[in-house]
Amino acid sequence: MINTGDTAFILAAAGLVLLMTPGLALFYGGMVRTKNVLGTIMQSFIMISLISIEWVYLGYTMSFGPDVGGVIGNLSWFALCGVGTAPSPTYATTIPQVVFMIYQCMFAIITPALITGAFAERVRFAPFVVFSLAWAILVYNPVCHWIWGAGGWLAARGVLDFAGGLVVHLTCGTAALAAVMVIGPRESYGKTSFMPHNLPMTLMGTGLLWFGWFGFNGGSALAANGVAATAFTATHLGGMAGMAMWSLMEWLNSGKPTTLGAASGAIAGLATITPAAGFVGPNSAIAIGLLAGFCCYYAVSLKNRLGFDDSLDVVGIHGLGGLLGTVCLGIFASKAVNPGGADGLLAGNANFLFTELFGILVVGVYTFVISWILFKVINATMGLRMIRESEVLGLDQAEHSESAYNT
């Protein structure tokens, strides 16, 4: 039976999640140098096109189609064959299946867009498009099936992920790590400092991301009910606490709280609360957000010492955030909050924490290996990086023949 309230809510939530990708484009775009702003924005924007089409033909059926051995969905829903306006018997039974499908499409779009921050300012457009498509097919779709698809093997072992701590944030963060290792640092990285060219743009992007995240986490309840309200509240509290903690750490360590720090802390909190949002109460959400601000702040400081040019901190914020959030889920989850979830360590069930750790290990290793191979193969065949002169000239001119600001 279709419920109009649930349908209305998930339609709105799908719109909200779509808005996160342009929001991310601005978040990243403001942090790069002027000569790369359009190239950076484009890498997020074009995912909206590329992945939507991939999702219709392959992504949805691979992720959510009839299960093959717990590993992948088969291709019987190719081109959305049989996916109509009647509710699915398996997923979200009170809304048209097409609504569930388009809602999930928005998650598939933003995940490869998140990776782009790691190799910002130095990758050519054509190999980037090829990588993103291959990554969506070989990494996102299988991992999504394992955890959210009916019959997926990690789900069968009890691994929970409310809105994408593993499926979205850990995968993109791990792929980002592989990217940084294969592609290497930007020209003159470490010798000159790269200042963000437009911080108000980054803050505008943060605002849009935060707004959209209510659809991302709240909508993951797949109905307009108490779980959605729990997730919505936890999301806000997680983002808020992440921002507060990151700003405080900066204030204590480097003397001034920065706007970039506030934005990064908010995103860290939001990414970290994502896997736990519908399974934890408000006090746990605040604790998780504070922990996120603290850990991600130090993770980002660490990259300079390790010499990794993860340009826009995908590993430190999304990778670590997704990992930490999943661990926290294992600790703070409570059936008193959501009877459909699980009890975690604090509710006396240590086994659930080990299950979540197992999920992290599997998803992390699989994503890293496949992403690393993909980057290596594309690098060997097409070449990932721009030539040195082009990199100095900037992505906007070299790859798109445009310039962002003209007076």
Partner 1 sequence: MNTGDTAFMLVATAMVMLMTPGLALFYGGMVRSKNVLATIMQSFICLGIVSILWVAFGYSMAFGPDVKGLIGNLDWAGLKGVGTTPGPYSATIPHLLFCAFQLMFAVITPALITGAFAERIKFTAFLAFTVLWTTLVYFPICHWVWGGGWVSSHGGLDFAGGTVIHINSGAAALVAALMIGKRQGWGREPFHPHNLGMTLLGAGILWFGWFGFNAGSALSAGEIATVAFFATQVASGAAALSWIVMEWLTQGKPTTLGAASGAIAGLVAITPASGFVSPGSAIIIGLVAGALCYFAVLQKSKLGYDDALDVVGVHGVGGFWGALATGIFASTAINPGGKDGLLAGNPALLGIQAMDAITTIVYSMVVTYIILKGIDIFIGLRVNKEDEIQGLDLTQHSETGYSL
Minimum Å gap between C-beta 58 and partner 1 is 14
Q: By CB neighbour count within 10 A (0-12 exposed, 13-18 middle, 19+ buried), where does 255 fall? A: exposed
Contact in structure between 37 and 94 (CB atoms under 8 Å): no
Minimum Å gap between C-beta 398 and partner 1 is 9
Considering only residues 30 through 59, tell me which ones interact with partner 1, judged by CB under 8 A: 37-39, 41-42, 45-46, 48-50, 52-53, 56
How many CB atoms sit inside 10 A of residue 348's CB? 8
Decide whether 14 or 286 has the Cβ nearer to partner 1: 14
Minimum Å gap between C-beta 11 and partner 1 is 6
Q: Which residue has the tokens 């070989």?
A: 138
Provide the mask over 170-199, with x wherever binding to partner 1 is found by CB under 8 A and - wherever it is not.
----------------------------x-
Can residue 405 be called a binding residue for partner 1 (CB under 8 A)? yes
| Alpha-carbon gap, residue 354 to 126, rounded angstroms | 41
Decide whether 5 or 307 has the Cβ nearer to partner 1: 5
Segment interacting with partner 1 (CB under 8 A) among 5-13, 183-191, 251-259, 267-275: 5-13
Q: Which of 31, 58, 101, 123 binds partner 1 (CB under 8 A)?
A: 101
- Give me the sign of the Cα torsion angle 28, 31, 32, 33: positive
Q: 334-343: long-range contacts at Cβ-Cβ below 8 A with a sequence spacing of 24 or more?
A: 334/279, 334/280, 334/281, 334/284, 336/281, 337/230, 337/279, 337/280, 337/281, 338/227, 338/230, 338/278, 338/279, 340/227, 341/160, 341/162, 341/278, 341/279, 342/158, 342/160, 342/279
Minimum Å gap between C-beta 65 and partner 1 is 15
Segment interacting with partner 1 (CB under 8 A) among 67-75, 166-174, 259-267, 399-407: 399-407
| Alpha-carbon gap, residue 309 to 300, rounded angstroms | 11
Can you give the binding site for partner 1, defined by CB under 8 A? Answer: 2-9, 11-12, 14-16, 18-19, 21-23, 25-26, 29, 37-39, 41-42, 45-46, 48-50, 52-53, 56, 79-80, 85, 95-96, 98-99, 101-102, 105, 125, 198, 201, 204, 208, 224, 399-407
